[in-house]
Structure 1
């Protein structure tokens, strides 16, 4: 007897179609750009927009690759993140930056990556315009965490990422003010802040 289908996984064509639908929704402005200020105080004037690229890379079965940043890092230690970083002078664009950083951080060969497109940027409180690059991973991939930068590489099922109902708002004090932020916890991993906000925007775009 054939086992029942696993609801947390989906065939590659279905995943690819859902991601392309998200790109179409972004192009039609169905869901606009996001920022760390969406649920909080007004965006400050003069905040920089240094470009950065992050790679939202999905396995054929829909699992999304995420990292846990090293606990010894100066910025955002121990936080959950998409592989990526700021655009360096040698990068052609945000896609090149995302692919380079993913290669460095998790050992993902750019030749294994099928880039589908780029979503609207997410503006961070630290002055970055973070562009999510949607992609599919071709074939098997065994991550290699970058020593000193990445403590862990793990995956989250597509069903968790793509369901807007998995995201909730929480609050904490930050620099003397209360700040609200999105959370999409998965097992022991506390996915929050900019990463959760970007993934929520992706889920909403796929739902339109």
Structure 2
């Protein structure tokens, strides 16, 4: 959608939500429960894997870190990208980015990028595993790496890449009543996506697109 001028996903109508689906229970969101879930993954099917292509560019591998911060009520760490970046500028995203040839695994990419973007040192992170790859309309093949993060970590966002850094309660993201569905049609372009707007004080963080799609898959994985 980046190729469409003046496109604002906030203005696209909501066609439905999924309040009829069960939320992931609180007892399944503890550190031990998350460790157990990734140690013995259930049989499940991801819901969103491939976006309709909207940008002609060579495929590129990347990783993001779905960082579950172990507060009394667990949260997920998210960023708002700065407006001048060449891809997905201004959008809500997980810490992460392109794989380097020196990265041994997708987890190494996610940890390296998280340290570069938000100053998250690897010693505060416990990697649990990964969800299936997610292919964006801009041709990024993304591996979502899920990890637990100690709450005493000290973060230092890179101002060149990160305009804002915030946390969203995990139980909000794993409750499908907060998952909104959108449909967009214009000049032969058809696209569907989820959004999960989260209000924090006077600001609404508009989580949508690839980030919301990977969170939806995380919900499916946790509910299976």
Question: TM-score if structure 1 supplies the norm length?
Answer: 0.82
Change (3 A) 1:23 1:70: farther
- Calculate the aligned-residue CA RMSD, in Å: 2.7
Deviation for aligned residue 1:13: 7.6
Deviation for aligned residue 1:15: 3.7
Counterparts of 1:57-206 in structure 2 under 5 Å? Answer: 57-61=67-71, 62-173=74-185, 176-187=188-199, 188-206=204-222
Deviation for aligned residue 1:141: 2.1
Deviation for aligned residue 1:171: 2.7
Change (3 A) 1:177 1:132: same
Change (3 A) 1:189 1:36: farther
After superposition, give the CA deviation of every residue in 1:121-170 in whole Å (9 maximum; x if it has no partner). Answer: 11111222211111011241232111211101100001111112211111
Partner residue in 1 for 2:3: none
Question: Are 1:16 and 1:136, in contact at CA under 8 Å, matched by a contact in 2?
Answer: no
Give ranges in structure 1 of 5+ residues lacking alignment: 1-9
Q: Which moved more, 1:91-100 or 1:157-166?
A: 157-166
Secondary structure of 2:33 counterpart: helix
Distance in 2, matches of 1:99 and 1:137, equals: 11
Give ranges in structure 2 of 5+ residues lacking alignment: 1-25
Counterparts of 1:17-28 in structure 2 under 5 Å? Answer: 17-18=33-34, 20-21=36-37, 24-25=40-41, 28=43
Question: Are 1:114 and 1:136, in contact at CA under 8 Å, matched by a contact in 2?
Answer: yes
Secondary structure of 1:35 counterpart: coil
Secondary structure of 1:34 counterpart: coil
Distance in 2, matches of 1:121 and 1:70, equals: 25
Deviation for aligned residue 1:48: 5.8
